[in-house]
Amino acid sequence: MSLNFPFPRDVMKRILATENPYIVAKLYKTCKYFPAKFNLILVDSLRHTFRQDVISHEDKATNVNPENVDSFQNLWVIHRFISVTNDPRLSSWISNISRCTIYYLEIRARHLTMNEFEILTNSGNIEHIEINKVYYDNFTTVPLEILVSRIPKASFIAVDYTHVTPSTMKILAESTHETKITNMSLRNIDDIMDDEDYYQFMRKYAEREAQFFVQYEGIPEEYAQKFGTSVKFKNFISKDANPKPHFSYSL
């Protein structure tokens, strides 16, 4: 059935292209034909667990059984996406997303493909992110600088399996990040980072009293300790105004 609206075609085109979910929500309540025209399910928060998933919008929460995930197509996930299990249906949820404007992303116990990561971060709105590993189609791990480049507004960054290259921290130190960082935790780092480049990145982007933490995996202890003590010393003798960021490391 063709739906006709009392607006000029160019006005309707702009309305349907809006990136503001609150406008869409109001339109849904204003006219019963708008939901069919947008063909999007509005979701404020999606929480994915082993036994059951919950999607919520405004004051309504819907429990979704695992076998019914495919019934929820064309999602617009607005605020939060949380997964606390390694169940493979996580990929189904992500593939069901048509628009994603979330500011909070938490993925526990599962790695993401680069395509999945792009779907979840395309809006550039992420402020809080906790993830494991992100890998390309050829199963190589995406380096940290690529991940951070897609989350310019993130102030809380936690990566549990961190891939770095010899130039990672230099690239990040010279990059443009829109927001000061309050917490950055990098765990299971697979190679030694340059201590000066790391310090310059922290100095440039750390909020006052921010928490920065690194933990290496499979790296000789002497190299990891040399990195950690060097960054701590640089931070200690810095003439930057107090309070300085807090840096800690684990071997």
Of the pLDDT bands very low, low, confident and very high (cuts 50, 70, 90), residue 1 is: very low
User: Once rounded to an integer, what is the mean pLDDT over residues 187-203?
Assistant: 96
Contacts of 3 (CB under 8 A, 6+ apart): 33, 36, 37
**Continuous segment of H or E residues that includes residue 31:** none
State how beta strands 41-48 and 53-57 pair: antiparallel
93 phi/psi in degrees, rounded to 5: -60, -45
Which two tokens mark 78?
A: 């607005």
- Whole-angstrom distance, CA of residue 103 vs CA of residue 97: 15
pLDDT digits (tens, 9 = 90+) for 67-114: 899 999 999 999 999 999 988 899 999 999 999 999 999 999 899 999
Q: Give the three-class secondary structure for 47.
A: strand
User: Once rounded to an integer, what is the mean pLDDT over residues 240-248?
Assistant: 86
pTM above 0.85, yes or no: yes
Residue spans per domain, the chain: 143-251
Chain centre to alpha carbon of residue 138:
22
- Whole-angstrom distance, CA of residue 93 vs CA of residue 114: 15
Residue whose structure tokens are 């399910």: 41
